[in-house]
Amino acid sequence: MHLSELHIYPIKSARGISLATSRLDARGLEFDRRWMLVDESGGFLTQRKLPRMALIRVAVLEHSLLIKAAVENDLTVPLHPAMGPLREVTVWNDTVEAIDCGDEAARWFTLALDRSCRLVWMPDESKRIVDPRNAHREALVGFADAYPLLLISQASLDDLNSRLKIAVPMDRFRPNIVINGCNSYEEDTWRDIQIGAVKLRMVKPCARCAVPTVNQETGKRGVEPIRTLESYRTKDGKVLFGQNVVHEGEGALAVGDTVTVISLR
């Protein structure tokens, strides 16, 4: 088995970036979901309510984040914003302090999404802890929904696509790590694995929301693949696809790295 795809999503719910290699820091892959769009009250915004967020494209440059959408000018924001105005923002049940990225960014995203919003960044000083009921230690997470990493096997997507009239690409599920060379849903059985020199633990199956129904190229929402997944991947009323993951320590991952299963559930 090997690591076949590696993805980050610098702005929560915006378009992802495919990488050949990436460094793992305390919160997950470097730059992954360190930025987030919030409404006037500081509540997080995602493709669940704003599928057009899929059309926001992001590139990581040497010192800045380059952001593009269907507006006249591109936007750049620093990779490491100076300590600016702090505001409390919420991700599900978590409230953390974030740095507001300023009025220019707020105006740009408001125009791109046709609704009032602001861009915020999570500084190193903000500590958001994953749910201790599932993780084996107090792992940190950025603005991801709950855990630092999401893993899916290519075989699982292939099995799903064999049941669909129109196949969907992996980007519908927004994984960080894609594994090739195992059986479909084999990742459901893993507990601890190692990719290259990095050890990871599967903490829980990923319960899917409406985001996989959003075409990441058009920003339009449909009913698949959730409707088909509901027919065979439902447990306790939740549609499950992929595994939430925490990592042990910092390190690096690269496409082509060998994947070794250390223990099973």
Domains of the chain by residue range: 2-27+130-264, 31-121
Q: Which of 25, 126, 11 is nearest to 77 (CA)?
A: 11
In angstroms, the CA 262 to CA 248 distance is: 14
Q: Is the dihedral of CA 43, 49, 55, 59 positive or negative?
A: positive
CATH architecture of the domain formed by 2-27+130-264: Beta Barrel (2.40)
Mean pLDDT of the residues in the chain: 96
> pLDDT of 242-255, one tens digit each?
999 999 989 999 99
> Is the confidence at residue 84, as pLDDT, over 90?
no
Helices (H), 103-199: 103-113, 154-163
Closest CA to 202 of 192, 210, 212: 192
Q: What pLDDT does 72 receive?
A: 80
- pLDDT of res. 82: 81
**Interval 174-225: pLDDT, tens:** 999 999 999 999 999 999 999 999 999 999 999 999 999 999 999 999 999 9
Quickly state the pLDDT bin for 71 (edges 50, 70, 90).
confident
The pLDDT value recorded for residue 233 is 98
Write out the DSSP string of 175-204. -SEEEESS-TTGGGGEEEEEETTEEEEEEE
3-state class of 53 per DSSP? helix
Q: Which two tokens stand for residue 170?
A: 């992996």
pLDDT digits (tens, 9 = 90+) for 11-32: 999 999 999 999 999 999 999 9
Angle at 252 between CA 98 and CA 205, to 5 degrees: 70
Distances (CA, A) of 175 to 207, 221, 235: 13, 19, 21
What is the β-pairing status of strands 177-180 and 149-153? parallel
Cβ(6)–Cβ(17) below 8 Å: no
Q: What is the per-residue pLDDT for 136?
A: 63
- How large is the C-alpha radius of gyration of the chain? 18
